[in-house]
Amino acid sequence: MKTLILILLFVFSTAQAAERYQLHANPKLVKLSKILVLESVGIEEETGRNDGDDVEGFLNDLGLRKGSAWCSAFEVSMYMRACYALKWSLDSIPFKLTALANGVFNSAKKGTKTAYKAFDDDFIVWYLPGTSNGHIGRILFIIDDKRVLTVEGNTSGRTEFDGVNINERSIYGNLGQKKVRGLVGV
């Protein structure tokens, strides 16, 4: 009995409940970055090794080399490119400019913690327990209180190689071994 209680305490103490943090970006920046995201749907890696002109462009925007994981680089790059187009400072972006999905989430903790409910243009972030690895996608459309459509970089699509794809996701569901960490509102 004592062993069972210890196991349950360990499980509950290591479980991470999903959270949502609200940051504040200028609506023009959010809108233009969304247009850029949608224009990118269908971009694919050249050889399946996190490469190709467009993918390497996302990586270059964050100073990363060819072959690096690029889901967060894609999402962050769209905001950076929107700032450049608007001739605004990158300081207009309310989250950390990082290639780590969990870095975006961690920086959002400076915002306001809110009820866990998804909104258009939120980021959904997953984490791989015990590592800094994760994944990020941008919510395009709310299907219901649990399911959303996202645009994500570095995900499988209709072809052999990863690319920028629209996916249906659960805001509570795992992504392989990755668990939902939470939402970041902008």
Q: How far is CA 170 from CA 14, 51, 61, 118, 126, in A?
A: 21, 28, 29, 10, 11
Measured in whole angstroms, the distance separating CA 23 from the mean position of its chain's CA atoms is 14
pLDDT score, position 2: 54
Domain residues for the domain of 123 are 16-185
| Total Cβ atoms within 10 A of residue 170 | 14
How much is the pTM?
0.89
Examine the pLDDT at 25 and tell me if it is beyond 90.
yes
Q: How many CB atoms lie within 10 A of CB 10?
A: 10
Tell whether 4 is covered by a domain. Answer: no
Residue 46 lies in a domain: yes
Q: Where are the alpha helices (DSSP H) in 69-121?
A: 71-86, 101-108
Residue 131 belongs to some domain of the structure: yes
In a domain? residue 171: yes
Q: Provide the pLDDT for residue 16.
A: 59
- Per the structure, the count of domains in the chain is 1
Note whether residue 65 is domain-resident. yes
Q: Any idea what the CATH number is for the domain that residue 134 is in?
A: 3.90.1720
Please determine, for residue 23, whether its predicted confidence score (pLDDT) is greater than 50. Answer: yes
The answer to whether position 9 is within a domain reads no
What is the per-residue pLDDT for 156? Answer: 87
pLDDT score of 13: 37
Q: What is the pLDDT of residues 53-88, one digit of tens each?
A: 999 999 999 999 999 999 999 999 999 999 999 999
